[in-house]
Amino acid sequence: RKEANEKNLQEDNLRAPVVCVLGHVDHGKTKILDKLRRTNVQEGEVGGITQQIGATNVPAHGVQRQTHMVKGFDMSNLNFPGLLIIDTPGHESFSNLRSRGSSLCDIAILVVDITQGLEPQTVESIDLLKKRKTPFVVALNKVDRVFEWESNPAKDIREVIKLQKEPAKNDFDRRTKEIIQALNEQGLNAALFWENPNPRSYVSLVPTSAISGDGMGNLIAMVCDLCQQRLNKRLMFSEELQCTVLEVKTIQGHGTTIDVILVNGRLREGDTIILAGTEGPIVTQIRSLLLPKPLKEIRVKGQYDEFKEIPAAQGVKIAARDLEKAIAGLNLQVAYHDDEVDLLKDDVDREFKAAMRSIKVKERGVYVQASTLGALEALLEFFKANSVPYSGIRVGPVVKRDVMKAAAMLEHDPMYAVILAFDVKVEKDAQELADKEGVKIFSEETIYHLGDCYVEYIKDFKKRRQDEFRSVAVFPSRLKIIPTAIFNKRDPIVLGVTVESGILRTGTPLCVPSKEFVEIGIVTSMEFDHKNVDLAKKGVDVCIKIEPVPGHTPKLVGRHFEIEDILVSKISRESINACKDHFRDDLSKTDWKLMAELKKEFQIL
């Protein structure tokens, strides 16, 4: 076993800055991280989308290796022990982790695709960074896509640009200018890093290509420079523990472990830790403190070193008993004395409850479950954006109790008797109960698939309900009989009509309001231009067949009503409700106006 990892703590006692990479989807966050750690996480991710958080230690010698081509960058100036880069799971979780007040990130890389410019998530990220006053650099990524670009990752990016031919230079200049302008519009002064007049008030742009490697050394150097200039005080190592749980995972040989970001303070083997769990706070002892080998991403299997003590800042894996129900996304505490345990349990519980309370649920909606608080929040963010209401939420596996809660919706609105489970286990007896009760459980490993599944389900559900209510939901219509088109006067009545307003469908009961609402029968078929149709809109002439209402005496044209009479759909409270509930969008504004008129005529309250 190794002794304390003191090489990460230098004489002046600064800790490694925690770096976050953020930006719009597809602009290259994952690829940049990949390039930095020279592993390939991207292909291994479910659906290619980064969903969970990991961290990479880039120790000083790692920085050195990656920046050797950078002119004027002097490693000996570096007084902190390398970088700790967090692999952000899309920026929602970053925002949520941050919004809970854990000042996880010291510094950020904002990735902007040079061919795309600023996009919605870029702007959101900028707002977040501004709000938190987090210093950042912009990676002007995908520079290899610049017209006729010639790559040379072995050189400083400034030289690579100098060596470009005219067309590439022009294209690069034009795109860069546009992005600087767009950043100005967001209230940011920005400049290419070598033209930056004042790094305190201008954000630096570093052209990069995560594919070819152009500018990657400059990016690392720039991040280090910025840390050096802006963070010295903040990076002073403090013994006060600041530690956030990022992930809960089962690892062969270690059981359930938690991945944490230790931002400040230190963790020791045997420490009593307190953290949030799905069944209340967990108190346990650290069995082992594990670190991945340098430059290996924490998620890559195996290859851990064990430590007796670990100082900040590092991504650490903790093995201990009773971590199965741990919740990620919240702070971890250490009790140094027994009498602190209860107090810290309270703190942990309060933090978790506050986080859950801050999530507002609706009275009617689906039930949402996820493996971590961050994932839950990211999921809810997605549902909010897609107008999916939720009435219940929980972090943890789907158990019978969850099914029972979701089943409560069967009474109110069966459409919402659904559990959307993201990256959690569905217990067997819970699934059995769900099947018995008629609760639908969707379980997926990516947010987008889960969203798609639900959207499909709702579409299908609505269609099934429409089918069910088709005969009850009477569309409003007002018809004029065409005097020259009376083909049969009785049982069935067959005649031509003009749809004066509304929509006429087969199945519609018709009556004559002027004759005290004589119900003349039900439209059983229609022809337009000698072809069968189900529906005729305003202005259309159709030939209709009207059969008597079962059990009623057949009505006769000329006796029970006249050719001059107007025919209308026979509506009722029940039919109006069915239209409102299931066919709202099938009727236009003027159709609804006609419905209101008929309602008045029929004196429906």
Q: Which of 51, 125, 141, 477 binds ligand GDP (CB under 6 A)?
A: 141
Name which of 211 and 361 has its Cβ closer to ligand GDP. Answer: 211
Q: Which of 25, 343, 455, 596 binds ligand GDP (CB under 6 A)?
A: 25
Name which of 87 and 156 has its Cβ closer to ligand GDP. Answer: 87
Per CB under 6 A, 31 contacts ligand GDP:
yes
> If binding means CB under 6 A, how many residues of this protein chain bind ligand GDP?
17
Q: Which of 209, 264, 272, 477 binds ligand GDP (CB under 6 A)?
A: 209
Least spacing, CB of residue 327 vs ligand GDP, in Å: 25
Active site (annotated) includes residue 412: no
Q: Contact, 289 vs 318, CB < 8 A?
A: yes
Least spacing, CB of residue 43 vs ligand GDP, in Å: 10
Dist CA 329 CA 246 (whole Å): 5
**Cα separation values, 31 from 41, 116, 141, 359, 475, Å:** 9, 16, 10, 32, 55
Per CB under 6 A, 27 contacts ligand GDP:
yes
| Two tokens, residue 423 | 């990256």
Name which of 142 and 555 has its Cβ closer to ligand GDP. Answer: 142
Name which of 42 and 431 has its Cβ closer to ligand GDP. Answer: 42
Dist CA 519 CA 357 (whole Å): 56
Q: Which of 5, 8, 30, 204 binds ligand GDP (CB under 6 A)?
A: 30
Tokens 């089918």 identify what position? 467
Per CB under 6 A, 123 contacts ligand GDP:
no
Classified as helix, coil or strand, 273 is strand
Dist CA 475 CA 503 (whole Å): 6
Dist CA 512 CA 92 (whole Å): 59
Least spacing, CB of residue 144 vs ligand GDP, in Å: 5
- How do strand 366-370 and strand 418-422 relate by DSSP bridges? parallel
The residue number with the shortest CB distance to ligand GDP is: 28
Per CB under 6 A, 317 contacts ligand GDP:
no
Q: What x/- string results for residues 517 through 536 when contact with ligand GDP is judged by CB under 6 A? A: --------------------
Q: Contact, 490 vs 524, CB < 8 A?
A: no
Dist CA 270 CA 288 (whole Å): 8
Least spacing, CB of residue 127 vs ligand GDP, in Å: 18
Per CB under 6 A, 51 contacts ligand GDP:
no
Per CB under 6 A, 28 contacts ligand GDP:
yes
| Amino acid occupying residue 485 | A
Least spacing, CB of residue 151 vs ligand GDP, in Å: 10
Least spacing, CB of residue 276 vs ligand GDP, in Å: 29
Q: Which of 24, 27, 91, 582 is an active site residue?
A: 91
Q: Contact, 599 vs 576, CB < 8 A?
A: yes
**Cα separation values, 154 from 85, 103, 392, 565, Å:** 23, 35, 54, 89
Dist CA 598 CA 437 (whole Å): 41
Dist CA 446 CA 454 (whole Å): 13
Least spacing, CB of residue 28 vs ligand GDP, in Å: 3
Stretch that binds ligand GDP, among 28-36, 484-492, 498-506, 530-538 (CB under 6 A): 28-36
Tokens 């069915």 identify what position? 578
Q: What angle do CA 134, 377, 417 make, to 5 degrees?
A: 170
Per CB under 6 A, 218 contacts ligand GDP:
no
Q: Checking phi first, is residue 118 left (phi over 0); if not, alpha (psi -120 to 50) or beta?
A: beta
Per CB under 6 A, 369 contacts ligand GDP:
no
Tokens 């929040």 identify what position? 377
Stretch that binds ligand GDP, among 77-85, 142-150, 218-226, 455-463 (CB under 6 A): 142-150
Residues that bind ligand GDP (CB under 6 A): 23, 25-31, 42, 50, 141-142, 144-145, 209-211
What is the set of active-site residues? 91
